[in-house]
Amino acid sequence: KFRKNVLVSMFAAASLALAAPAALANTFKMAIGDAAGGTQWELGTSFAKAFSEKTGGKHKVDLFPNGQLGDEQDTVNNASMGLLDFSILAINNVTPFSPTVGVLTLPYVIQSAEDAKKLTQGEIGKQLTENTIRDAGVRIVGWAYSGFRVLTNSKKPVKTLDDLKGLVVRVPKNEIMIATYQAWGVNPTPMSWAETFTALQQRVVDGQDNPYITVAAMKFNEVQKYITNIRYIFSLEPLIISEQVFQAQKPDVQKAILEAGQAASEHSYKYLLETEEKIRAELTAKGMEISDPANGEKEWIEKATTTVWPKFYKSIGGKDKLDAALKSLGR
Ligand code: MLT
pLDDT tens, residue by residue, 50-77: 999 999 999 999 999 999 999 999 999 9
Rounded to whole angstroms, how far apart are CA atoms 13 and 268? 46
**Predicted local confidence at residue 295, as pLDDT:** 82
Rounded to whole angstroms, how far apart are CA atoms 207 and 152? 5
**Predicted local confidence at residue 25, as pLDDT:** 57
* Atom number, ligand 1, closest to the C-alpha of residue 214: 9
Give the distance (Å) from ligand 1 centre to CA of residue 208.
10
Rounded to whole angstroms, how far apart are CA atoms 45 and 284? 27
* Atom number, ligand 1, closest to the C-alpha of residue 172: 3
Rounded to whole angstroms, how far apart are CA atoms 35 and 134? 30
Pocket test for ligand 1, best of 68, 89, 173 (most atoms within 8 A of CB): 89
Give the distance (Å) from ligand 1 centre to CA of residue 194.
9
From first to last of its 331 residues, what are the pLDDT tens digits of the chain?
334 443 434 444 444 444 434 444 599 999 999 999 999 999 999 999 999 999 999 999 999 999 999 999 999 999 999 999 999 999 999 999 999 999 999 999 999 999 999 999 999 999 999 999 999 999 999 999 999 999 999 999 999 999 999 999 999 999 999 999 999 999 999 999 999 999 999 999 999 999 999 999 999 999 999 999 999 999 999 999 999 999 999 999 999 999 999 999 999 999 999 999 999 999 999 999 999 999 888 999 999 999 999 999 999 999 999 999 999 999 9
Q: For residue 281, how many C-alpha atoms fall within 13 Å in the half-sphere facing its CB? A: 4
| DSSP letter (8 states) at residue 187 | -
* Atom number, ligand 1, closest to the C-alpha of residue 38: 9
The dihedral over CA atoms of 124, 125, 130, 135, expressed in degrees to the nearest 10, equals 100
Give the distance (Å) from ligand 1 centre to CA of residue 15.
47
Give every CB contact of residue 96 below 8 A, 6+ residues apart in sequence: 73, 173, 174, 175
* Atom number, ligand 1, closest to the C-alpha of residue 209: 2
C-alpha of 257 from chain center: 18
**Which residue puts its alpha carbon closest to atom 5 of ligand 1?**
90
- Total Cβ atoms within 10 A of residue 167: 19
In this structure, which amino acid lies at residue 132? T
**Which residue puts its alpha carbon closest to atom 8 of ligand 1?**
90
**Stated pTM of the model:** 0.91
Which protein residues are within 6 Å of ligand 1, measured from CB? 33-34, 72, 89-90, 92-93, 172, 193, 210, 214, 235, 237
* Atom number, ligand 1, closest to the C-alpha of residue 149: 5
pLDDT digits (tens, 9 = 90+) for 296-320: 889 999 999 999 999 999 999 999 9
Strand partners, 142: 239
Q: What is the mean pLDDT of the chain?
A: 93
How far, CA to CA in Å, does 184 sit from each of 60, 148, 291? 46, 18, 18
Give the distance (Å) from ligand 1 centre to CA of residue 241.
18
Q: For residue 25, how many C-alpha atoms fall within 13 Å in the half-sphere facing its CB? A: 13
Whether the predicted interface score ipTM is above 0.90:
yes
Give the distance (Å) from ligand 1 centre to CA of residue 154.
18
Give the distance (Å) from ligand 1 centre to CA of residue 218.
10
The dihedral over CA atoms of 208, 190, 45, 253, expressed in degrees to the nearest 10, equals 150
